Structure 1
């Protein structure tokens, strides 16, 4: 019986944790598969995707910088992929159509609600950033029926455009960073700035003693954003390593029909970074 083939395509790709995560998932669920990271040249993405599935490949994860191009290739789109206009997961359905899914937001919500014991329903949420990472999380966040989501970005016009495209799903608006007022239940950093040691120009007063903060980036040390959050008096500040594991688990479920356990994989990954 042939071993089913899976890949993650990206450029760069050497830093990817996905092969070790999916190997652990396969072991935990007694699945026989081969998952590898593959560097794809910029002008060869579409051809490489087509060739992979033509050769019998079963599923792909897609990372930077190809998520929008993966979305554009698909014949069928999940609601999350359609709203995100980007895909991190590809597979063929029973009709042989290329299906695009975006599991990033599902991964975020599962990490917050299942792993971290958080609650998003009826909460006031500030999301920092207006790039592709933020676009990928808004539909699943809004599905949790928060009281309101406010998007703030260095370039306010981008935040306005982004919020406008999601107003059909719930109470979401944009606000210039300097004009943010009042505290929030959750502040989610969707920028990569803190990994470079930078912080968004946020005003004071956004955090109260019950505010929880979440940096979608992760590192071995506390991110600059999370260090700021704790200094400002946040109840708790977590990074995005759990999101990485949970989005991978959702991809695995789509491909294999089983949702793998994530706690031990997350613990092992935390020790290794």
Structure 2
């Protein structure tokens, strides 16, 4: 019987995951399909039950459900349990729903693919404290990056995330702006600058060091205003295409046991969005 997978979020029209996974199913001769589902927060529990009842074999989870979905799952793997966020659900043959998080490792793979390990040993600023930020923070710490400082519009959320990490700390956005030159790696994880969200930047990048690596996990547009300003200041930049592809590949592997090709996929997604 044909298998089917999905991505759930609110909004969801911007997601390129259906094309990503659809191409990998074709490349690997897998009889499956992948669909986007617009699920509002108040209908999340009902949606999870429906996906299970309708025989969905697995699904990805995007904003704003990465934290909220946890109570409706049967089990978390160690990555999701530690991070407190889920971006991939795998349905076992007995119907058990297992949540995992491939965001963080996907980001680190993208970072090291572009810049090797040159950011290790340098101070890290993480902008945002949502589900994606949690995954990235724990993965960076696990892979030997840091010390990590977290900044967020609501500083209490940054403090809560920092308290769950070894040696991490939190700052207000104003404090982070003043100390930007101290950071060798800056990672922007909020939706500010995304094609469907508010325009602008999460903080003023004027103090970014010229030798810093600045990453934005947004992949549409390819270069947010924040990345553009950082590049103009002389920093090296990284958009979210690589993370998007690598986290998707990790999810695909969990579902199928096959690790799909990523290099050509990154090139293809970049071309579709409108760049090189």
Aligned partners of 1:5 and 1:58 also within 8 Å: yes
Find out whether 1:249 has 2:223 as its counterpart. no
Out of 171-180 and 139-148, give the one that drifted further. 171-180
Aligned-partner SS, 1:188: strand
Q: How many residues align?
A: 266
Out of 243-252 and 126-135, give the one that drifted further. 126-135
Aligned partners of 1:133 and 1:190 also within 8 Å: yes
Aligned partners of 1:178 and 1:203 also within 8 Å: no
Find out whether 1:174 has 2:160 as its counterpart. no
Aligned partners of 1:76 and 1:99 also within 8 Å: yes
Find out whether 1:156 has 2:152 as its counterpart. no
Which residue of structure 1 lines up, in the alignment, with residue 116 of structure 2? 118
Which residue of structure 1 lines up, in the alignment, with residue 128 of structure 2? 129
User: Gaps spanning 5+ residues in structure 1: where?
Assistant: none
Alpha carbons of 1:48 and 1:24: their partners in 2 closer, same or farther (altered >3 Å)? same
Find out whether 1:213 has 2:223 as its counterpart. no
- C-alpha separation in 1, matches of 2:15 and 2:222: 18
- C-alpha separation in 2, matches of 1:127 and 1:32: 40
1:258 shift after superposition: 1.1
Aligned-partner SS, 1:269: helix
Alpha carbons of 1:178 and 1:9: their partners in 2 closer, same or farther (altered >3 Å)? closer
Which deviations, in whole Å up to 9, do the C-alpha atoms of 1:192-223 show, x marking residues without a partner? 22343322344754413x21110111234521
1:117 shift after superposition: 3.2
Which residue of structure 1 lines up, in the alignment, with residue 224 of structure 2? 223
Which residue of structure 2 lines up, in the alignment, with residue 240 of structure 1? 240
Aligned-partner SS, 2:26: helix
- C-alpha separation in 2, matches of 1:86 and 1:165: 13
Which residue of structure 2 lines up, in the alignment, with residue 79 of structure 1? 78
- C-alpha separation in 2, matches of 1:89 and 1:243: 14
Find out whether 1:101 has 2:104 as its counterpart. no
Aligned-partner SS, 1:193: coil
Aligned-partner SS, 1:52: helix
Alpha carbons of 1:177 and 1:13: their partners in 2 closer, same or farther (altered >3 Å)? closer
- Report the TM-score, using the length of structure 1 for normalisation: 0.88
**Higher relative contact order, structure no. (Cα contacts within 8 Å, ≥ 6 residues apart):** 1
Aligned-partner SS, 2:69: helix
